[in-house]
Chain A
Amino acid sequence: MLNYVAPSTVEEAVRILAEAPGTAKVLSGGTDLLVQLRSGRAKPGLIVDIKKIPGISGIGERDGDFVIGASTPGAVIGECEALQRAWPGVVEAANLIGSTQVQGRASLAGNLCNASPAADSVPALIAARATCAVAGPKGRREVPVESIAIGPGRTSLSPGEFILEIRLPKPRPRSADAYLRFIPRTEMDIAVVGAAVSLALDADGVCADALVVLGAVAPTAILVPGAAAALVGRKLDETALAGLDQAARRACKPIDDKRGTIEYRTKVAGVLARRTATIAYERAGERR
């Protein structure tokens, strides 16, 4: 038997989630949850719809950071020109999730908490050094996005906890990000590999700082420090790209499945890392 409740404050939502007997599920856009309800993969006794909480949907700025409410749909993220200018990689990743219809509902927090290894927005958020505000019975905590997913379908959130908002820092001068995924068709598919790169250049166009994150090649999205190190201190020459490619391939621990073999995913990870870094580098160079 399933019950539904739509609390109107954070405190009420936390209390309901913490006190719920059996399994309670947080509902935001529902584009993963409703599929899981239908298939029987999720059998919650209670659904807690957080969309009635004021401020839970929408994009704002606080102390120079972008603050994206947990329930903000992908379509709204794609329409936010300021965010698109600041973090084009995050926006392109968010907008790759599903169809136009899915974009009307699906949220970044949902993509994160669904904890699919192939989630498109997660590598881009990690590369952008995004954090999330988590509400729970012990109060509010701010954690990096990479600490949320701990395995396929599993998160580090405790019972009663849910994500309130995602926070993106103001980008530094001469910095940019990018995200690419590989799928065998042009739309409506799940990443075989995803690659996110954010980097910052010095005044001479030398890479001063970089983050490289891969998706769909391990149980969670993974930061690849060796790949970032290959970029730092160089302009994006062949030595840098070859080092990036090799480090990206070494970091892969993918599965074999219908979307791709281990060998294929590993090879594609290197190629995608190169292409993504090239886009991020060009974007950063255009920002003076």
Chain B
Amino acid sequence: MSKHHVSAIINGEPAEFLCEPQLTLLDVLRDELHLTGSKEGCSSGDCGACSVTVDGRLVCSCLMLAVEAEGHKIETIEGMARGHNLHPLQRKFLEHAALQCGFCTPGLLVAAKALLDRNPNPTETEARYWLAGNLCRCTGYDKVIRAVLDAAAELRAATPR
């Protein structure tokens, strides 16, 4: 089976890998590049645990072939904190106890960041609809939504008008 050579920008750094055509971006992120923050929940685009952004657009990395990453900018959960400084969303998830087992958390954080990058002041309804493709079986979502809205408020306060 012929392998494809793929060059992409992952979390701001140039990355290259070889992959077989049937592998998903999620397979390569986890098994080849050892970026294991993105999780495999359902492999069918229903759970959102594998959420990443491609050129700023939120997608499920299980629904994209790794070869399709050629020439694109990928952001994963590993690119979210700046060194030891957690992103405000990550901090608010801890403060609000918006996680228990943590399996859905990387996907929820990546998806929530994509929301706040577009809409710094979402309503609760907008946040709930935006995150409807991220399943969590522990929290019941309430704490997640509170954490996202609190992080949004903090980010707005920090942004000079």
Contacts and interface: CB of A to CB of B under 8 A. Distances in A.
Contact of A102 (B2, B60, B129, B131): B60
B65 A101 contact: no
A31 to B, nearest CB: 5
B48 to A, nearest CB: 6
A37 B22 CA distance: 8
B63 A102 contact: yes
Contact of B111 (A4, A100, A105): A100
Contacts of B134: 99
Interface centre among A3, A34, A38, A104 (most CB of B within 10 A): A104
B132 A100 contact: yes
A101 B64 contact: no
A101 B44 contact: no
B89 to A, nearest CB: 16
A2 B59 contact: no
A274 to B, nearest CB: 25
A284 B59 CA distance: 35
> Secondary structure at chain A's binding surface: helix, strand, loop or mixed?
mixed
A29 to B, nearest CB: 8
Nearest to B2: A3
B57 A73 contact: yes
Interface string B42-79: 01111010010010011110111101101000000000
Contact of B43 (A38, A51, A101): A38
B46 to A, nearest CB: 7
Interface in A151-170: none
B57 A104 contact: yes
Contact of B63 (A1, A6, A30): A30
Contact of B45 (A4, A39, A101, A187): A101
B64 A30 contact: yes
B44 A188 contact: no
B88 interface: no
Contacts of A242: none
Q: Considering the complex of A and B, which 6 residue pairs feature the smallest CB-CB distances, nearest first?
A: A99-B133, A4-B21, A187-B132, A104-B59, A104-B57, A101-B60
14 contacts: A2-B1, A27-B65, A31-B60, A34-B24, A34-B63, A35-B44, A37-B22, A99-B48, A100-B111, A100-B115, A100-B132, A101-B48, A102-B133, A105-B59
